[in-house]
Structure 1
Amino acid sequence: MTAAIAADGLRKRYGEIRAVDGVSLEVHSGEFFGVLGPNGAGKTTTLEILEGLRQPDEGTVEVLGQRPWPRNAALLPRIGVQLQASAFFERLTAREQIVTFGSLYGVSGSRAAQMLERVGLTEFAETRAEKLSGGQAQRLSIACALAHDPELVFLDEPTTGLDPQARRNLWDLLREINAEGRTVVLTTHYLDEAEILCDRVAVMDHGRILKTDPPATLVRELDAPTRLTVESGLLGAERARELLAGGEGGTAVPDAEVRDDGISLTIATRTPAPVLALLAEQDALRGLEVRGATLEDVFLQLTGREYRA
């Protein structure tokens, strides 16, 4: 596949801090690519290098076949950037914001109406940006990034701080952007978001890329146990352990682990079929939930569980 982005050996230091430490990646044309990592992993700095906002200390990068640094005027009309912290011109309405951004690229002001409709802000066209809700402001930020019809769009944590409804509305918009053939590069802390939207993801930590693959591939490689959960009280934990050890009418499932927190009985195993059959035989299926591994499990295995401020 054609590479929209090709980076090799990128490094960026700030004193003793290695913000980006040997990052190499390739993003295919038309791909929805996610960059994941805890706070301080180097995601934003990596994006800023790819966007041509920062000069790497070492390494090479090509975006749409061109070098983004030194600041490449020929590349700018072909990329759209939505930064982590949106900043709008003071006292301008939503329509005026898009007109102003578009004018920087020689785009007609008539496109503002199209973009407002595209992101669902037509009724807020004459509302000042500072009066918009968080979700509306993020949509306006994306509209500004798309005003000049770029081929490649960078989105740095676009759904941070949004309520669940606003996040899902924004997901629909991002899917549409990608379905039109645009390459999308996304950083996010929301693992469910990456799992739903991205064709491939790169997991970063301490300035390095630890793994790059489709989310489903990363999850399968984890080989994590399946968790079967039912309402507590249907089957006692001790009785469940006895049955899973093969005692008195049970079926031996050697790797099964049982936990009962008084609300739910959870059995973790890599062989869920006999456990499910056993629960059915015991008439203990009320409230049944079956949960396999997720991208969050992959993320935690690769980056650890310690808190990062």
Structure 2
Amino acid sequence: MAINNETRVTQFILLGLSSNPNVQIVFFLLLLVIYLLTVAGNLLILITIYVDSQLHSPMYFFLCNLSCLDLGFSTVAVPKFLVNFMSQSKTISFNDCIAQVFFLHFFGGTECFHLSLMAYDRYVAICYPLRYTMIMNKQACLLLVASTWVLGFIHALAQAFPATQLPFCGPNEINHFFCDAHPLSVLACSSTFISEIADMINSGILTLICFLVVSISYTYIISTVLKIRSAEGRQKAFSTCASHLLVVTLFFVPLVFMYMRPPVTLAGDKLISGFYTIITPVLNPFIYTLRNEKVKKAMKKLGGRTHMN
């Protein structure tokens, strides 16, 4: 389609991780197994918490929401990646590419805010145990979770909308396995310096806010836990936070590497991106179930009910 004597790109080619057919087969099988485990693990957490009334508390409500986010985050990138492994063209339309940018940042940004919310929840539970049920009541929990989705939506809009305004006249090969703001802007026909700096500031503010909330929450948590006299009490308090801290670390470290830096392309970008879009969503269910006795008991009970039926 000719626009202002330029040919507008209507689709892009995702180069993926490798062009070697044998390597692609190995990646396809490995990725398929990981994605199926991601779906099964997060659905199991959702079903377990829904069925067991003893898990109907703010902490597990937030865990349910995290599982929903992990499912969405992984599903935005992985199925298209799997299809491309088996396809000759490996193309994605312009509209689908922009949609992928939006939903990746929507689920990813929302998860950043949500992990901060989970840190605040642990802060209230440990520092103000007697007032916990009053502070984290049902209405407050719903409002807080809704706010993370709204903030994630705003962040995603700020990332995706500038990409729709860029002129693309070729080439159309994206050196990635999904569409993201920076790999896409590299292909633009005009200067993207200002838009990329704006994107970095947007992601930087999001990361900074979440980092501050998590840091302040855990500073107070550690200070409070160290004042507990019994070793058993300290161990129990720390164990309730260990899973969340591990998840936060696994999620935030790759994101900081990818988005809190000048807009340049590095050799390891695709592998780092694969970690937070593919690996982290499959690890989260295992991290929370392996370290949480209540969830493990509820899953065993659910397994017993299924076997009896």
Greater length-normalized contact order (CA 8 Å, ≥ 6 residues apart): 2
TM bucket normalised to smaller: under 0.3
Structure with greater strand share of residues: 1
Q: TM-score scaled to structure 2, two decimals?
A: 0.24
Q: TM-score scaled to structure 1, two decimals?
A: 0.24
